[in-house]
Amino acid sequence: MMINLISDTVTKPTPEMLQAMMAAEVGDDVFGEDPTVRALEEKAAAMFSKQAAVFCPSGTMTNQIAIKVHTRPLDEVICEEGSHVYQYEVGGYAFHSGAGINLIKGQYGKITAEQVAAAVKPLHDWLPESRLVVLENTCNKGGGSYYTVAEMAPIRDLCRERGLALHLDGARIFNALVETGDAPQQVGGLFDSISVCLSKGLGAPVGSLLLGDAEFVRQARRVRKAMGGGMRQAGFLAAAGIYALDHHVERLRDDHRRAKALGAALEVLPMVENIRPIDTNILIFDVKTPHTAASFLSMLADKGIKGSAFGPHTVRLVTHLDFTEAMLTKALEVISALR
């Protein structure tokens, strides 16, 4: 039994999802003629009470389009230092948008309205203009920590006061929502734009959505095309997304429960320390010298479990749709036997 905990992006479509994909009615989406893509976009927009949505190949593209539409060259994006938009999108904010970045050090990836207020730059000819704030929920590098709607609302208020746009990198927003009990419509009310990944915990093979008001999404469609992200019979992929939204949201709780169970087994290992709070499906912890992330991961790999190094002594494991109860039992046995 191979157990892959490298990321929640490793899932493959379930037989039922494949069935839905094969049954999809499709057309050329560049001409707006794919009914399944349109159905997915309308469904997602309605869920979050936004006017419109656009289906894209990746979450990197949805974030980069959002930055492009919200900013002009010489503007600045404010975000947490571990943010995906800063760490893992190849510096695309500079490449696509000519924007600078203003980093805030948060707590497990979360920032506050006070911190954002302190980061906003005054208007001077010699300074970049603060234009956009990006929040990430859940926070990937923060170990899957989440914001509640109540925690995000003061940042919304501040952005309104200071004339800043607010974008949500909601690659894992549903992992947050099943924990907080907040409704997607409440989240929609806080943000000018929202990016949602279908290919993480929701288990679709490909695809992300970018949501906003009608004019924002009209602009976003043009930028998507300019980035080469206009797709033709994408309804086959959109069908997987619709299936995922209908069937794979509530079960995210199982991933969170399994992550906590792995955490409890790791906690009693003498070689493990500093397990970050396990709020959702991501586990981040350190291993003590003489162990290293590499040596720890190779011990796990010998027993058929894959994880990833997040630093010289830091390991990340991520639970997901294809990490079953039987795999959990096996993983707990393996971890408990580590010496």
Ligand X SMILES: *Cc1c(COP(=O)(O)O)cnc(C)c1O
Give me the 36-75 binding string for ligand X, x by CB under 6 A, dash otherwise: ----------------------xxx--x------------
Q: How many residues form the binding site for ligand X (CB under 6 A)?
A: 13
Asked if residue 97 binds ligand X (CB under 6 A), the reply is: no
- Tell which one of 41, 75, 80, 169 touches ligand X (CB under 6 A): 169
**CA 115/CA 120 separation, integer angstroms:** 9
When asked if residue 140 is in the footprint of ligand X (CB under 6 A), the reply is yes
- Strand-pairing partners, residue 53, are 211
Binding track, positions 289-328, relative to ligand X; x by CB under 6 A: ----------------------------------------
| 180 near ligand X, judged by CB under 6 A | no
Got the DSSP string for 35-51?
A: HHHHHHHHHHHHHTT-S
Which among 101-109, 196-204, 212-220, 222-230 is the span making contact with ligand X, rule CB under 6 A?
196-204
Query: Smallest distance from the beta carbon of 244 to ligand X, in angstroms?
Result: 14
The single residue among 26, 152, 166, 171 that binds ligand X, judged by CB under 6 A, is 171
DSSP string spanning 190-213? H-SEEEEESSSTT--SS-EEEEE-
Q: Does 145 engage in binding with ligand X (CB under 6 A)?
A: no
Cβ–Cβ under 8 Å, residues 55 and 255: no
Q: What is the C-alpha to C-alpha distance for residues 99 and 39, in angstroms, rounded to an integer?
A: 34
Nearer to ligand X, 61 or 113 (CB): 61
Q: How far is the CB of 29 from ligand X (least distance, A)?
A: 18
Is residue 197 part of the contact set for ligand X (CB under 6 A)?
Answer: yes
Q: Is 84 in the site for ligand X (CB under 6 A)?
A: yes
CA proximity to 172, closest of 281, 268, 273: 281
Could you tell me the maximum CA-CA distance found in the chain, to the nearest angstrom? 62
In which element (H, E) is residue 170 found? strand 165-170
Which DSSP category does 159 fall into?
H
Q: Is the torsion defined by CA of 247, 251, 252, 253 positive or negative? A: positive
Residues that bind ligand X (CB under 6 A): 58-60, 63, 84, 136, 140, 169, 171, 197, 199-200, 208
